[in-house]
Chain A
Amino acid sequence: MEMPTVTMQVIPMEHGLLLAAILFVMGMVGVLTRRNLVFILMSLEVMLNATGLAFIVASSRWGQVDGQIMFLMILSLAAAEVAVALGLVLQLFHKRKTLDINVLGEMKG
C-alpha cells in the first residue's frame, strides 16, 4: 500500500510571532482602556495566551520541547490566577456594588 505523501505546509515563524504580537497588543489595549474589572482580567488572559503562543512558535521552530513546557506552566498559572482574581472581584462587588476601576481607585498619593 502506498502511503499518500502529505507535504505539510510549514507556517513561517514570523507569522506566528506576528499573531502573538497582535494578540498581546490587543490584550494590552484592553487592560488600559477597559473600566470593568472583569474585562480587564479577560484582556489579561489574552496577553498571557499571546506569550504562550510565542513560546509554542519558538519551540516548533527549533524543535525543542522547552517552549511547550513553558506554555503548560503559563496555562496552569493563568488558571490559578483567574481563580484567585475572580474570588477577589466577587468580594469587591459584594462590598462596593461596582466594578468600575475609576470609582474603585482610592489609593491616591
Chain B
Amino acid sequence: MLDLLWLVPVIPFIGFLILTLTFGKLPQLAAGVVGAGSIGLSFVFAFLAGSSFLGAELTSYSQTLWTWMSVGDLDVGFTLYLDGVSLVMMYVITGIGFLIHVYATGYMSGDPSFARFFSYMNLFVSAMLILVLADNLALLFMGWEGVGLCSYLLIGFWYKDPNNGYCARKAFVMTRVGDAFMAIGLFTLFVSTGTLNIQEAMLEAEAQWVVGSAVATAVTLLLLGGAVGKSAQLPLQTWLPDAMAGPTPISALIHAATMVTAGVYLIARTHVLYLLAPEVQYLVGVIGAITLLMAGFTALTQSDIKKVLAFSTVSQIGYMFLALGVGAWSSAIFHLMTHAFFKALLFLTAGSIILAMHHEQDIFKMGGLRKDLRWSHALFLIGTLGLVAFPGFSGFFSKEEILASAMANHDGGYILYLAGLLGAVMTYLYSFRLYFLVFYGKKTHDGHEVMGLHLQGPLVLLAIGAVLAGLIHIPVEGVFPEMEEHHPSVMAQAAMILLPMLGGLLAWWVFIKGKVDTEKLAGQGIGATLHRFWFTQWGMDWLYDKIIVMPYTWLAEVNKTDFIDSIYNGSARAVRFCHEVMSETQTGQLRWYAISVAYGLLLLVVLGVLL
C-alpha cells in the first residue's frame, strides 16, 4: 500500500481542479461532497500508506514520481519522502483537515462562493502535504509558497470588505519577508553541500561543517527567518492576529493546526544543521520563550474571541520553538500534534458560538452562554483544558515534556524553563478569562445553538482527540537523536502542574468573584499604560509602522514625480520642442516651399563646386 503514497497530495489537488474548473456552477451539495470528500479520501490513503509504513518497520520510504528539473549538478525530483515526522504531519493534515472540511460544509452553508472556498481549501491541503512529504528543499519550498498563497486567498476570502484584503496583504507580505530569508538560506545550503535533497544535505553538512562555523550559523539563521515568518514568531508575528479576518474554519485549519506549524516542522526537519550551530539553536528557544510570554500577555487584553485564540496559537507555537531550542525535537512535534487537536476544536467551537451569536465576536457582548449553548460550552471547556495543559488532557503530556526538557537542559535552559512556566500561568489566566467571560457572568444576549451532524460531529471527534491525543506515541525515534528520559523530581513536577493553576484561580477570582474591577485597573495610571502596551502586541505594529511603513510612504511622497522619469520626460520634451520649431516652417504658402527647394539646390551646387 505504500506505493499509493502519491495519491495523498494528488487527491486534494484533483478536488481543487474539479471545484475550480466548474467555475462555481456546482450545486452546494456536490461542492461540499467533492471538497470534504477529497480530503477524506486522502486521509484514507494516508492511513493505508502510514499503517503499512509502520507495519514494515521502515525508517524511511521515498517515492520518486518524476524529475522536476535537472540542470548541471542540480537534480530535483518530484519525490515524496515518508518518515516518522512527515507521517505525523500527514495524519494531522489529512485527519484534522478532513474534520475541519466537514465542519466547514455546515459553517459556510449558503455562502455564494461556497465552491470557491472549498477549492482554495483543497489546494491548501494539497500544498501542505507536498510541504511535509517533500524529500528535497526545492519541493518543500514550493509547498511552502503554495500554502502561503492559499493563506492569502482565504484570509481575503470575503474580499468585498477592504479590511479583509488589507489583512490578507499584510499576512502575505510579512511571511514573504521570512520566505526571502529562507530562499537565500536554501541557496547557501546548496552552494555549500551541493545538493537540495534534505537527507543528503544533512549528511553532507555533518561531514563538512565545523560546529559553530560561519556557514552553519548563516544557513540556520536564514532558515530560522523563514520559520519565524511562517510560524508567526517574534519579530514577524504581527500578521497572525490580522489573519483572523478570514472565515473561522480557515483560522482553525491554516492559522492554528497546520500552516503556522510549518516553521516548527522545517526546523525539526533540518535539526542536524541546528545541532551544528548551537548558538542559533539557543536563539530559537529564546525567540520561542519571548514570543510565548508576549503573546500570553497580549491575549489577556484582547476582546475579540478569535484574536484571543490567535494569540494563544502564537504562544503555543512559542512553546514548540522553545522545545526545538532545547533539543527536544520530538516534544516539539508532539506538542504540534496535540495543539492541532485542541486548537482546531477551540476555533471551530468559537465558530459555532459566533454563528449562534449572529456573527458577534466581542467577548464582552457575550456572557452567561453556558445554558443556551450546552454543546459549545462542553466542547469549549474540553478545548480550554487541553490548551492550559490540565492533567489528563492532551496538552498536559506534551507541555510537560517540553518543560521537563527545558529544565534538564544545561546550557541556559533554566531561563527558558522559567519563561515556559510563567507562560503556563499566563495560559491558564487568559484561557479561563475567555471561558468565564463567554460562558459565565450576566447574560446580555440570547444565543441559539446551530445544530447539525456536520457541525457537532467533527467537534466531538476533535474533542475526543483533544482528550486522548496525549496518549499517542509518535513514531519519530529513527528521525531524531536519542533523548534521555527526563524525570524531574516530584517537587518539580508538582510545581509544573500546580503553579500554572494559580493562573486559573486568579481568573476565577477576578472574573467570577469580581474581586477586581478590571475596567478600573485597565483604565488609569500604570494599568492603562500596560494595557495599551499589551493590547498593541508590545507596540510591534506601531514600531513597524514607524520604522518601515512611514519612511517608505514618505519616500514615495517625496519622489512622487519619480526623478528617473524626468529623463524620459525630458527626451519627450526635446522632441516636442523640435516639432514646434519644424512646424513653423509649414506655412502653407506654396512659394515658401518652392524657394526653400531652390535654396537647397543652390546650396548643393555651391557645395559641389567648393568641395
Residues of A within 8 A of B (CB): 28, 31-33, 40, 101-102, 105-109
**Closest residue on chain A to residue B594 by CB atoms:** A31
A-B contact pairs, 18 of them (CB 8 A): A31-B594, A32-B591, A32-B594, A32-B595, A32-B598, A33-B591, A40-B590, A101-B589, A101-B590, A102-B589, A105-B587, A105-B590, A106-B588, A107-B586, A107-B588, A108-B586, A109-B583, A109-B584
Residues of chain B lying within 8 A (CB to CB) of residue A32: 591, 594-595, 598
Interface string of B197-229 (1 = CB under 8 A from A): 000000000000000000000000000000000
For the complex with contacts A32-B595, A105-B590, 11 further pairs of A-B residues with Cβ separation under 8 Å are A28-B594, A31-B591, A31-B594, A32-B591, A32-B598, A105-B587, A105-B589, A107-B586, A109-B583, A109-B584, A109-B586
A90 → chain B, closest Cβ, in Å? 18
A102 to B583, CA, bound (A): 19
B159 → chain A, closest Cβ, in Å? 52
Q: Is the CB of B584 within 8 A of A101?
A: no
**Closest residue on chain B to residue A101 by CB atoms:** B590
**Closest residue on chain B to residue A33 by CB atoms:** B591
Residues of chain A lying within 8 A (CB to CB) of residue B586: 107-109
A6 → chain B, closest Cβ, in Å? 39
Q: Is the CB of A108 within 8 A of B594?
A: no
Residues of chain B lying within 8 A (CB to CB) of residue A105: 587-590
A51 → chain B, closest Cβ, in Å? 12
Residues of chain B lying within 8 A (CB to CB) of residue A101: 589-591
B582 → chain A, closest Cβ, in Å? 10
Q: How many A-B residue pairs have CB under 8 A?
A: 27
B591 → chain A, closest Cβ, in Å? 5
**Closest residue on chain A to residue B584 by CB atoms:** A109
Interface string of B220-248 (1 = CB under 8 A from A): 00000000000000000000000000000
Interface positions of B from 557 to 590, Cβ below 8 Å from A: 583-584, 586-590
**Closest residue on chain A to residue B595 by CB atoms:** A32
A50 → chain B, closest Cβ, in Å? 13
Task: Among B583, B588, B590, B598, point to the contact of A28 (Cβ < 8 A).
Answer: B598
Residues of chain B lying within 8 A (CB to CB) of residue A31: 591, 594
A64 to B180, CA, bound (A): 85
Interface positions of B from 583 to 611, Cβ below 8 Å from A: 583-584, 586-591, 594-595, 598
Residues of chain A lying within 8 A (CB to CB) of residue B589: 101-102, 105
A109 to B598, CA, bound (A): 21
B477 → chain A, closest Cβ, in Å? 89
**Closest residue on chain B to residue A105 by CB atoms:** B588
**Closest residue on chain A to residue B587 by CB atoms:** A108
A108 to B594, CA, bound (A): 16
Residues of chain A lying within 8 A (CB to CB) of residue B590: 40, 101, 105
A28 to B601, CA, bound (A): 12
**Closest residue on chain B to residue A31 by CB atoms:** B594
B12 → chain A, closest Cβ, in Å? 68
Q: Which 8 A-B pairs have the closest CB atoms?
A: A105-B588, A107-B588, A108-B588, A109-B583, A32-B591, A105-B589, A101-B590, A31-B594
A6 to B63, CA, bound (A): 116
A86 to B430, CA, bound (A): 101
B588 → chain A, closest Cβ, in Å? 4
A106 to B590, CA, bound (A): 10
A107 → chain B, closest Cβ, in Å? 4
A33 to B589, CA, bound (A): 11
B78 → chain A, closest Cβ, in Å? 67
A27 to B590, CA, bound (A): 15
A28 to B593, CA, bound (A): 12
**Closest residue on chain B to residue A107 by CB atoms:** B588
A106 to B584, CA, bound (A): 13
A76 to B79, CA, bound (A): 84
A31 to B583, CA, bound (A): 23
B385 → chain A, closest Cβ, in Å? 87
A108 to B590, CA, bound (A): 11
A17 → chain B, closest Cβ, in Å? 14
A101 to B595, CA, bound (A): 15
Residues of chain A lying within 8 A (CB to CB) of residue B591: 31-33, 101
Residues of chain B lying within 8 A (CB to CB) of residue A106: 588
**Closest residue on chain A to residue B589 by CB atoms:** A105
A61 to B589, CA, bound (A): 40
A108 to B588, CA, bound (A): 5
A89 → chain B, closest Cβ, in Å? 13
A102 to B590, CA, bound (A): 8
A81 → chain B, closest Cβ, in Å? 15
**Closest residue on chain B to residue A32 by CB atoms:** B591
B577 → chain A, closest Cβ, in Å? 15
A32 to B591, CA, bound (A): 5
A31 → chain B, closest Cβ, in Å? 5
**Closest residue on chain A to residue B591 by CB atoms:** A32
B348 → chain A, closest Cβ, in Å? 75
B596 → chain A, closest Cβ, in Å? 11
B586 → chain A, closest Cβ, in Å? 6
Interface string of B299-316 (1 = CB under 8 A from A): 000000000000000000
**Closest residue on chain B to residue A108 by CB atoms:** B588
A101 to B591, CA, bound (A): 9
B579 → chain A, closest Cβ, in Å? 10
**Closest residue on chain B to residue A102 by CB atoms:** B589
A31 to B586, CA, bound (A): 18
**Closest residue on chain B to residue A37 by CB atoms:** B590
A66 → chain B, closest Cβ, in Å? 21
A37 to B24, CA, bound (A): 74
A109 → chain B, closest Cβ, in Å? 5
A31 to B591, CA, bound (A): 7
Residues of chain B lying within 8 A (CB to CB) of residue A108: 586-588
Residues of chain A lying within 8 A (CB to CB) of residue B588: 105-108
Residues of chain B lying within 8 A (CB to CB) of residue A102: 589
A4 to B312, CA, bound (A): 135
